[in-house]
Structure 1
Amino acid sequence: MKRREFLQYASAIAGSRVLPVGFGMSALAERAYAASPNYGNVSVTAPTVMPQVINVFMYGGASELAGNLSNIADINTNSVNDYSAGSAFGSSFLDTMVEDAANGQITANEFWRDAGGIHMEDMLAAGDMSVYRTIYKQKSPTRSHRESIFMSHKGTLDIENSPGIGSRLALMMLSNQNAYAGARLADGSSIISLDTMTLPFVSFEGDSQTFAQDPDNKIPLYLRGLTMDNSFNNPYTRSLGYPSDGSIDTIDSLLSRRLSQLDRNKYSKAFDGFDKREEMEGRMENLSDLLNGSDANGNQSSAQQLGITYPNTSFAREIEAAVTLAIHNPETLYIAVGTPGLGGWDDHNNGIDRYADRMNDLMEAIKAGMAHINASNGVDTIRGGTRNRTDNIVINVFGDFGRLVNLNNSGGWDHANNQNLYTFGGAGVRPPAEASALGSVIGTTHREGRTKTNNQYTVPDSDSPTWEPMSIAASIYGYFGASNPEILTADPTYNPSGDQTLASKLSS
């Protein structure tokens, strides 16, 4: 955040721990009125340990093929272009992967080997991952990016002026704050009150619809999303952006002198504001050291101290920052992340040239992130405590929608309605059916569409569970203790009943 943006909110910092995210994308929305849910009607019981959710969104709509080659033989027979041709994926693309077939692309669980399949197999075997193959848009089967992005970030079909998942979660907690008083965090401490929490909602992707505000319900500053970059640039220090000519020291001296002349009881909010700013500055500096290490002192980053090496990519840096924040600050509850450095996922053209490498980079970074999480039990937190569990951290990876499985004449795929949800960790906060599904692939599909046309797609089998994309939002609310999260995904016009959680269609 730029210093100018920070100073605009300096007058409000006395009562807050965080700064608000900007909402540039909301200018795209039409100004139609959208009724807000009644947050007081959400029935909440605080979970055993407060969850920490990292939501990774693949803008553009990623093909499902990285995580689902189960239909590839039928797809290839009906595709307008041959997947196994030399000009496409290669003659060995349809081969099952065995040790003596190094170029075979179909792994044991029918992932695409070169598109992150090896990393997915490793995480699946470790029980760190589930793949849901039937996230299928039926209630509003639009394939438009804007509507699909907003629906996924807001967890609702009524997207105009409606709040995002992060904002709904904050308002759910605010309306039920008595339920969260005393709730346990992953370092064994308890929530004192919501307004004392540090960085509860964070965006690493700048302006995000997941933090779009509710037009009918004001969110206090301390529960709004804070934007930061993947280097933890510190918006709380007074020295940010100042010249290195000693002027900041003069300002600090004058400020200290002035404060010494004031009656703390009379100006308690001002004093509290400066105290909180100083506290936040220290914590942000601690986070920066944990992410970057300190070369001058020979210190290593949090991951390096645990023997974890992240790939040298922009996306891996983002995941390392998000995971480092979650691990070392149990009060960070919800984090929004994009996929910077990988490019978008709108693979109408040349998907064969770009998609596999991007998916491999994504899954390799997530695997490092899960190794970092799993190794972090017992590490110190920026609050001065010791983390005593890491099974409360959930990572979700999904996007706008799915893509056709037919290989088009441009070597890519056009829009479709079925996609994968890749979800990781969180066995300690998922409901039993979901926790049991870690290490599994859920949902089966088959190909439909007229042969040899650019309209081949997968749909869930008739005996397979299937979910709307809004079920991901419902599940997040459920992790935080909502027993009726469908209230937060419902709207009276488009979706009166809302959507159920992932666990609702699983057998425990």
Structure 2
Amino acid sequence: MKKNIQRPEEHIDRRTFMKGLGALGLSSVFPSTLSAAALDYDQIQFDPNIYNDNNAQTIIVYLTGGAAEFAGNLTNLDEINSASQNPYPLPSMTPTQNNCWLEAGGDSIEKLLANGDMNLFRTCFRTFDDSRSHGVCSSQAQYGQATQGTSGIVTNIASILYNKGAVTEPTANDEIGKNFPFVSMESTISPLYAKGGIDLPSFLEPVIFDSKSAIKNPYARSSSPLINRILNTQTEETIDNLLDTQATQTNTPGTIQDNFDKRAILAQYTDELNAIPLPEGVSYPAHNEYADKLQLAMKLLIHNAHTKVVTIGAIGGLGGWDDHQNALAQYSNRMKQLLSALDAAVTHMNAAARTNINIVVFGEFGRNLNYNNAAGWDHGNNQNVYWIGGKDYMNQMGIVGETELYTTGEPDRLYNRPKNFGQEGESYHFQVFSIAATLYNIYGITNPEILTDNNMPIDGLLS
């Protein structure tokens, strides 16, 4: 294989690949096609100047299960404690300068805020369809609209950019990285990639790099030298070659065979990605799955300009954020891990002088604030949204939104809502759908509300 000319800013040794291998997408990551109308591209307004000027790359960190807001908001902790069914262990809940929770990563939040690297929105307040049901709320948050069975946020971005000519199908002579503009680091199917009625070219479907990719290459067959033992000295055929030949003979043309063809290329690319050293002064926390994922995601974005979106799901099951019981220690440890990993990712981003990368952290809903008899929290309406980086196109707003405590009179329905809610002087708040609208806007879609049930981008965030 011949080598492409390497760009000065690229650190990965790019290689061309044989014509006919096609794109590097893995269609198995998508859910089954649901009944929904395809996008009406004629109605979608796209500004290529915004898209090109932003040159945006995004990491979406989705906290499946509904994370509590305490890590970023202890402003009314005393009032919450007085009204709670059970008292909180206040000595282990130390407020920081901006009333974040020190023991739950509040020091990382304060650092990111002070450096202008994070916007913290405290009032992503769900008023639409107040079901607080995992299935419905999580799907809607990742569809970016209320309609069930539609296409997901990342699928929409991919399809619109392709339709408007902003991304084009790679050829055999393109560098490897052009073949995966969208990457999933999730081991489970996500509504972010739901197709609905959209028929995507295979290269737009996400390639999977899981959390173990930095430790063991998931696309490599084996680390054993036997895999490359020569079986035929005349043809120099190896066991690895033989397995590829058998796969070609056994599998009919289509998705399965395509994925066998792509495995070797992905194995090579993953090895090259992992071999890139971190910049001086950059280190990620050890024994931290969020850090492992973020490090690989950040390497990918920094060293492959063609990757637009990387998604990171949460850990196992409902993601570990469904804290109905024994919540305080588990939640605080988990948030500390997440926020310290985000801190390291920002250090990595800044060391590479990459001001076009943004990271958004959110989930399907928040938690009630009543400390129940199982020492946990039930599903609630209000959540924090952490939006990091993106300085080329995002304003640095700091902390946005003030909360007040509210109860319906039911023991478990003690929760924060926007201050002066429904009254004059109401604090700014938005639905989770505005996160999708903001993402669409970042990628040049100037009327995103037609995709988000008329929810607009987060006010003031985009410059």
**Smaller-chain TM-score bracket:** 0.7 to 0.9
Give SS of 2:29's match.
coil
The equivalent residue for 1:172 is 160
How many correspondences in the alignment? Answer: 413
1:68-147 matches, cutoff 5 A = 68-83=73-88, 89-91=89-91, 93=93, 105-147=94-136
Distance 2:191 2:154 in 1: 5
The equivalent residue for 1:22 is 29
Q: Does 1:250 align with 2:206?
A: no
Give SS of 1:122's match.
helix
Describe the shift of the 1:278–1:311 C-alpha distance in structure 2 as closer, same or farther (beyond 3 A): closer
> What's the CA shift for 1:80?
1.2
Distance 1:50 1:214 in 2: 25
Describe the shift of the 1:317–1:204 C-alpha distance in structure 2 as closer, same or farther (beyond 3 A): same
> What's the CA shift for 1:316?
1.1
The residue identity in structure 1 corresponding to 2:87 is: D
1:101-500 matches, cutoff 5 A = 105-160=94-149, 162-177=150-165, 179=166, 197-230=178-211, 231=213, 243-247=227-231, 249-250=236-237, 282-290=268-276, 302-303=277-278, 305-312=279-286, 313-340=288-315, 344-377=320-353, 390-430=354-394, 435-437=395-397, 440-450=398-408, 453-461=411-419, 462=421, 463-490=426-453, 498-500=454-456
CA RMSD of aligned residues (A): 3.4
Describe the shift of the 1:403–1:274 C-alpha distance in structure 2 as closer, same or farther (beyond 3 A): closer
Q: Do the aligned partners of 2:219 and 2:263 also contact (CA within 8 Å) in 1?
A: yes
Runs of 4+ in 1 over 4 A off after TM superposition: 10-13, 192-196, 232-242, 251-255, 273-282, 505-508
Distance 1:253 1:341 in 2: 33
Distance 2:121 2:323 in 1: 21
> What's the CA shift for 1:236?
6.6
Which runs of 5 or more residues in structure 1 are unaligned?
Answer: 1-9, 84-88, 94-104, 182-191, 259-272, 291-301, 378-389, 491-497
Q: Do the aligned partners of 2:54 and 2:442 also contact (CA within 8 Å) in 1?
A: no
Deviation string, structure 1 residues 264-295 (Cα, Å, up to 9, x no partner)? xxxxxxxxx999987766543311212xxxxx
> What's the CA shift for 1:68?
0.8
Describe the shift of the 1:171–1:79 C-alpha distance in structure 2 as closer, same or farther (beyond 3 A): same
Describe the shift of the 1:37–1:371 C-alpha distance in structure 2 as closer, same or farther (beyond 3 A): same
> What's the CA shift for 1:131?
0.6
Describe the shift of the 1:348–1:501 C-alpha distance in structure 2 as closer, same or farther (beyond 3 A): same
Equivalent in 55, 58, 62 of residue 50 of structure 1: 55
Distance 1:212 1:413 in 2: 30
Distance 1:486 1:275 in 2: 40
Q: Do the aligned partners of 2:396 and 2:461 also contact (CA within 8 Å) in 1?
A: no
Q: Do the aligned partners of 1:474 and 1:501 also contact (CA within 8 Å) in 2?
A: yes
The residue identity in structure 2 corresponding to 1:216 is: G
Distance 2:55 2:433 in 1: 22
Distance 2:262 2:333 in 1: 44
Deviation string, structure 1 residues 212-236 (Cα, Å, up to 9, x no partner)? 3434221001111111223256677
The residue identity in structure 2 corresponding to 1:81 is: N
> What's the CA shift for 1:501?
0.5
The equivalent residue for 2:14 is none
> What's the CA shift for 1:239?
7.4
> What's the CA shift for 1:341?
7.8
Q: Do the aligned partners of 2:177 and 2:306 also contact (CA within 8 Å) in 1?
A: no
Distance 1:401 1:472 in 2: 13
Give SS of 1:15's match.
coil
Give SS of 1:114's match.
helix
The residue identity in structure 2 corresponding to 1:436 is: Q
> What's the CA shift for 1:245?
3.6
The residue identity in structure 2 corresponding to 1:246 is: I
> What's the CA shift for 1:174?
1.4
TM-score, scaled to structure 2? 0.80
Distance 2:108 2:378 in 1: 26
> What's the CA shift for 1:246?
3.1
Distance 1:128 1:209 in 2: 28
Q: Do the aligned partners of 1:406 and 1:413 also contact (CA within 8 Å) in 2?
A: yes
Distance 1:319 1:254 in 2: 34
Distance 2:220 2:461 in 1: 48
Q: Do the aligned partners of 1:167 and 1:210 also contact (CA within 8 Å) in 2?
A: no
Give SS of 2:179's match.
coil
Give SS of 1:37's match.
coil
TM-score, scaled to structure 1? 0.73
Deviation string, structure 1 residues 292-344 (Cα, Å, up to 9, x no partner)? xxxxxxxxxx32x4221111112211111111111111111001102338960
Deviation string, structure 1 residues 66-98 (Cα, Å, up to 9, x no partner)? 111112122112111112xxxxx24474xxxxx
Distance 2:176 2:339 in 1: 36
Describe the shift of the 1:50–1:276 C-alpha distance in structure 2 as closer, same or farther (beyond 3 A): farther
Q: Do the aligned partners of 1:167 and 1:214 also contact (CA within 8 Å) in 2?
A: yes
Q: Do the aligned partners of 1:109 and 1:121 also contact (CA within 8 Å) in 2?
A: yes
